[in-house]
Structures are given as structure tokens and as C-alpha cells.
Structure 1
């Protein structure tokens, strides 16, 4: 096996890995999990707001 063949095999392996990751990321089974992860930032802000209201005794409206 020469270097060209090894590079070609490595390219095919990396391409198939990339295609597999794309199918995994866009599969419908992962949508709920990704949506939950996307909203974690907002949930953290809500927790910080409610905890600061409890400590100061101020009710923000």
C-alpha cells in the first residue's frame, strides 16, 4: 500500500463519519433532547431571577 491509497482510505473513513454525525444530529429522535439543551440558558436565567427575588424580598413585575 502506498501513501495515496492510505490517504484515500482515510478520506473515505472521515467522510462516512461526517455523514453519520449529520444523520445523528438531524434525526427526529434527537430533536427533543436538543430543544431542551437549547433552552437551558433561559431556564438558568429564570432560576437566578427567582432566587434573587427571594433573597431581597422584592417582587419584580
Structure 2
């Protein structure tokens, strides 16, 4: 195998990896998980603003 063949195989592997990542990111099964992660930043802000929520969370420790 020459250098050009290795580059072709490497390019093919990267293309397949890219397509797998795109499929995983836009898969409907992953949507709910990604939505929960996206909304988690707002939940942390609410806990920091409301001292009662902090007490509820820390009271269980």
C-alpha cells in the first residue's frame, strides 16, 4: 500500500466517524436527554436565587 491509499482509508474512517456523530446528535432517542441537559443550566440559577430551594436540597444530605 502506498501513501495515497493510507490517506484514502484515513479519510474514509473520518467520514464514517463524522456521520456516526451527526446521526447520534440528531437521533430522536437522544433528544430528550439533550433537552434535559440544556434546561439544567436554568435549574441551577433558580436554586441560587431562591434560598428555600437550597435548604431543601441540602436538607437531604
Category of TM-score, reference length = shorter chain: 0.7 to 0.9
TM-score normalised per structure 1: 0.82
Higher helix proportion: 2
Larger Rg: 1
Alpha-carbon deviations, 1:7-35, whole Å to 9, x = none? 00000000000000000100000000000
* Unmatched 5+ stretches in structure 2: 55-61
TM-score normalised per structure 2: 0.82
Aligned residues: 55
Poorly superposed stretches of 4+, deviation over 3 Å:
none
